Amino acid sequence: MRAKVMHWLRRARRVPGWLVQAASAAALLGFALWWVDLGEVAGALSRAHYQWAFLAIAIYALTRVVHTIHWQVYLVKVGHVPFVQLLGAFVIGNFVNSVLPARAGDVATIQLMANRYGLSRAGMIAASGVETVLDALVLVIMMLVALALLDASFVSAVVLWALVVLAAAVFVAAVVSSHLIPPALPQWRWLDVLSDRARRVLGDAWPRVRDGLEAIRNERVLALALGLTVVGYGIEVLTFWAFGRAFGLGLPLSAYVSVTVGVSLVRTFPVTFQNIGTYEVALLALLRSEGVTGGDAFAYAVATRVLISASITVMGLAAMWLMAVRPRDVFTLRKDTVLRAPSAGSH
Domain definitions of the chain by residue range: 23-329
Render pLDDT for 200-229 as a digit per residue (tens, 0 to 9): 888 899 999 999 999 999 999 999 999 999
Higher local confidence (pLDDT), 327 or 72: 72
Q: pTM to 2 decimals? A: 0.84
pLDDT score recorded for residue 17 = 60
Query: Residue 236, CB half-sphere, CA atoms under 13 Å: how many?
Result: 20
Task: Report how far residue 97's alpha carbon sits from residue 26's, in angstroms, rounded to the nearest whole number.
Answer: 20
The closest alpha carbon to 51, from 246, 190, 215, belongs to 246
Band (336; pLDDT cuts 50, 70, 90): very low
Strand partners, 346: 323
The set of residues, in sequence order, having a beta carbon less than 8 Å from that of 75 and lying 6+ positions away, is 81, 119, 123, 124, 127, 212
Render pLDDT for 23-66 as a digit per residue (tens, 0 to 9): 777 787 777 778 888 899 999 999 999 999 999 999 999 999 99
Render pLDDT for 165-202 as a digit per residue (tens, 0 to 9): 899 999 999 999 999 999 988 888 777 788 888 888 88
The set of residues, in sequence order, having a beta carbon less than 8 Å from that of 209 and lying 6+ positions away, is 122, 123, 125, 126, 181
| Mean pLDDT of the residues in the chain | 84
Backbone torsions φ then ψ of 269, nearest 5 degrees: -120, 70
Backbone torsions φ then ψ of 339, nearest 5 degrees: 60, 20
Task: Report how far residue 324's alpha carbon sits from residue 341's, in angstroms, rounded to the nearest whole number.
Answer: 10
Q: How far is CA 322 from the centre of its chain?
A: 24
- Residue 167, SS3 per DSSP: helix
Percent pLDDT > 70 in the chain is 85
The closest alpha carbon to 120, from 343, 345, 335, 342, belongs to 335
